[in-house]
Structure 1
Amino acid sequence: MATPFTYIIPILLLLSLTSVSNACPPNDRAALLAFKAALNESHLGIFNSWKGLDCCHNWKGVSCNPETHRVADINLRGESEDPIFEKAHRTGYMTGSISPAICKLTGLSSLTIADWKGISGRIPQCIASLPFLRVLDLVGNQISGEIPSDIGRLSRLTVLNVADNQISGNIPRSLTNLSSLMHLDIRGNKISGTIPRDFGKLRMLSRALLSKNKLNGLIPYSISYIYRLADLDLSLNQLSGPIPASLGKMSVLATLNLDGNLISGPIPPTLISSGISILNLSNNAFDGYIPDAFGPRSYFTVMDLSHNKLRGRIPRSISSATYIGHLDVSHNHLCGPIPAGSPFDHLEASSFVSNDCLCGKPLRAC
C-alpha cells in the first residue's frame, strides 16, 4: 500500500528540478561574480543581493531571458529614484573597472553601468563579440582608452552612450557599420580625429551627440543622408570649413548645435528656411550676410549667431518668420537699423551689442 511519502518525494524532486532548470547557468553566475570582483561599491550595498546559486532572481540589476534563463540585462545606475538611493540620501560612487568576464555573458542584450563617477579602466575589446547586445550605456564614469576598434560588429546595437568619460583616440571606422544604431552619445570625452566621411551610413540614427571633444576637419556631407536624424550636436570641438548646405534640407532635423568650433564661410540659406527650431552657430568664424531667407516655415525657439564675423544688415524677411523666441546676433560686424515689430519687440540689448553700427530699439536710436 502506498504511503503519503510515496507521492511527496517525487513532487519534491520535480519542484527541485524545476527550480534548477529556471536558474541561471553556472557559467553566467561565475561571469557575474568575476565582473563584481573588479568593482567596489561600499556605500549602498548594491552587490549585497548577489548571492546564492540563482542569479536570475533577486540579484539587483540583473535580469534573465525567461525562455533561455541566460543573463540578458545588467542595469546598474549610480543615480536613480530606486528606494535604495532614497533611503541612503545619496547617489552612488563605485570604483574599479569593467572586467572582460562580462564578455562570457553571450546572451547579454543590454549593459548599463552608468553615473558611478569612479569606474575607470578601459572598455573591454571583447564587448564587440556579444552577438545580441542592443544597449551599451557607460555614461558618467572615468573610463579611458579608446572605443573598441571593431565596435561595428554589434549589428543589433541601438544605443551607444559613453558620454562624460575620459575616452580618447579616434571614432572607429567600423562604427559606421552599426546599421541599427539610433542613439549615439560620445559627449564630454577626449576623442580626436575627424568624423568618418561615411557617417551617413548610420541611416537609423535619430540623435548624434558628439560635443565637447577634440574632433577636427570637415562636417561630412553624408550626414544629410540620415533621414531620421532629429538632433545633431557637434559643438565645442575643432571642426572647420563650411557647413554642408544639405543639412538644411533634412526633413526631421530639429536641433543643430555647432557652437564653439572653427567653422567658416557663409551661413547656408537652407538653414534659415528649414524646419530646424534650435540653431546655434555661435563662436565660430562665419562671414558674409545673414541669409534673407526667412519665411512662414522659419520657427526658431533659439537662433544664436553671436561671436562670428557676420556683416551687413539684419534681413527684413526675419519679420515674416512664424516665431523666433531667442535671437542673438551680438559680437559681429552688423550695421543698420534693427527691424521693428516681432520678434524684436521682446528682445534685450544684449542680443545686439558689440556690432559695428546697429541702431534702433532696444539699442540707441538711429
Structure 2
Amino acid sequence: MATTTFFYTLLAIILLSLTSVSNACPPSDRAALLAVRAALKEPYLGIFNSWKGYDCCHNWYGVSCDPETHRVADINLRGESEDPIFQKAHRTGYMTGFISPAICKLERLSSLTIADWKGISGPIPPCIAYLPFLRVLDLIGNKLTGEIPTDIGQLSRLTVLNVADNQLSGTIPRSLTNLSSLMHLDIRGNRISGTLPINFGKLRMLSRALLSRNKLNGLIPYTISYIYRLSDLDLSLNQFSGPIPASLGKMAVLATLNLDGNQMSGPIPPTLINSSISILNLSRNAIEGYIPDVFGPRSYFTAIDLSYNKLRGRIPKSISSATYIGHLDVSHNHLCGRIPAGSPFDHLEASSFVYNDCLCGKPLRAC
C-alpha cells in the first residue's frame, strides 16, 4: 500500500513538473529578455532581481505572457510608478544603458513600455518596426537619440506611439502616416525637425497629436482637419509659419488647439471662434488683423490666449455673448478702445490687457 502511494505521489510530482515546463515561456524569449536586461543598469530598486529561473512568464517584474501561447506579450517597466517597490525605496527610478535589439526577438510582443528612467540612451532599435503584433510603444522620459525608425509605418496595429521627452532628432518618417490604427501620438520635447507630412490627415483614428517643443517648421497641413476624431492638437513651441488653416475650426471634436510659440502669421480664422474648441492658445506668434467679431452661444472657452501678437482694433463686443470664457489674454498687442463691460471682463485682471496701444476701461484706467 505504501509503495502504491509513493508511486502515485511521484507520478503527480512528475506531471506537475511537466505541466510547469509546458506553461513556461520558450527559451528563445527568456534569452531575449536576459539580453535586454544585460544592456540596462538599474542600481537602486533591484527591479531585475526577479528575472531569474527558467520561466519568464511567472513573477518576472514587468513581464506578462499570452496565456495560450506562453510567449512574452507585454513589457511594462516604468520609472515613475505607485508599485510597492518604488514606495519602499522612497524614490523614482533611474536607469542607464540602452535598449537592446534583442527586444525584437520577442516576436509576439504587443506592448513595450520602458518609460521615465531618465538615463537610458542610444537609439530606438530600427527592428522594432517589424514586430507585427505591437500595439503600444511607450519610451517617454529617457535620453534616447537618433531618429524615429524609418519603417515605423509597418506597425499596422500600433495605437500608441509615445517617445516624448527624449533627445530624438531627424524628421517625422513619411511612413508614419500609414499607421491607420494610431490613436495617440506624442513626440513632445525632442529635436525633431522638418515639416509635417502633407498627408498627415491619413491618421484618421488619431485623437491626440502632441508635437510641441521640437524644431518642426513650414506650413500646418490643412489635411489635419480630415482627422475627424482629433480632440487635442499641440504644435506649440516649434517653428511653424504661414496662416492658420481655417479648416481647423470646422473639426467636429477638436477641443484643445495649442499653436503658441511659433511664427504663424495672417489673421485669426473666424471659424476658430465659433467652434468646439475650448482651449485656444495662439500666443507668441505674428498674427495680425482684428479679433473676429463672431463670438456666440457656441463659443465656450475655458482659456483663450491671443497675447504677444500684432492684433489691432477693438475687443469685439460679441465676446459678451459667448456661453463661457474662463480666461482671456490679449496683452502685448496693438488693440485700442474701451474694454467691454460685463462678463467675462468683470472677472479678468489687468494683466490680461496690458501693453496694448490704447485700451482703456476696467480693469485698466478709465477712458
Name the counterpart of 1:166.
167
Q: CA RMSD in A?
A: 0.8
Name the counterpart of 2:305.
304
Report the AA paired with residue 297 of structure 1: R
Tell me, in whole angstroms, the C-alpha distance in 1 between the residues paired with 2:333 and 2:16: 77
CA offset at residue 15 of structure 1?
1.1
Tell me, in whole angstroms, the C-alpha distance in 2 between the residues paired with 1:42 and 1:262: 44
CA offset at residue 169 of structure 1?
0.2
Q: Are residues 1:242 and 2:243 paired? A: yes
Q: Deviations over 1:115-164 (max 9, x none)?
A: 00000000000000100000000000000000000000000000000000
Name the counterpart of 1:346.
347
Tell me, in whole angstroms, the C-alpha distance in 1 between the residues paired with 2:225 and 2:4: 78
Name the counterpart of 2:90.
89
Name the counterpart of 1:325.
326
Name the counterpart of 1:105.
106
Name the counterpart of 1:151.
152
Report the AA paired with residue 100 of structure 2: S
Name the counterpart of 1:211.
212
Tell me, in whole angstroms, the C-alpha distance in 1 between the residues paired with 2:8 and 2:164: 59
Tell me, in whole angstroms, the C-alpha distance in 2 between the residues paired with 1:6 and 1:325: 78
Name the counterpart of 2:4.
3
Report the AA paired with residue 40 of structure 2: L
CA offset at residue 326 of structure 1?
0.4
Q: Deviations over 1:168-222 (max 9, x none)?
A: 0000000000000000000000000001100000000000000000000000100
Alignment of 1:62-211 (within 5 A): 62-211=63-212
Q: Deviations over 1:77-118 (max 9, x none)?
A: 111111111111111100000000000000100000000000
- Kindly, what percent of the aligned residue pairs are identical? 85
CA offset at residue 10 of structure 1?
2.8
CA offset at residue 17 of structure 1?
1.2
Q: Deviations over 1:18-58 (max 9, x none)?
A: 10111000000000000000000010001000000000000
TM-score (norm 1): 0.99
Tell me, in whole angstroms, the C-alpha distance in 1 between the residues paired with 2:355 and 2:26: 68
Report the AA paired with residue 50 of structure 2: S
Tell me, in whole angstroms, the C-alpha distance in 1 between the residues paired with 2:259 and 2:104: 37
Aligned length: 366
Q: Deviations over 1:259-299 (max 9, x none)?
A: 00000000000000001000000000000000011000100
Tell me, in whole angstroms, the C-alpha distance in 2 between the residues paired with 1:137 and 1:51: 25
Tell me, in whole angstroms, the C-alpha distance in 2 between the residues paired with 1:152 and 1:172: 8
Displacement over 3 Å in runs of 4+: none
CA offset at residue 16 of structure 1?
1.3
Listed as ranges, the gaps of 5+ residues in structure 1 are none
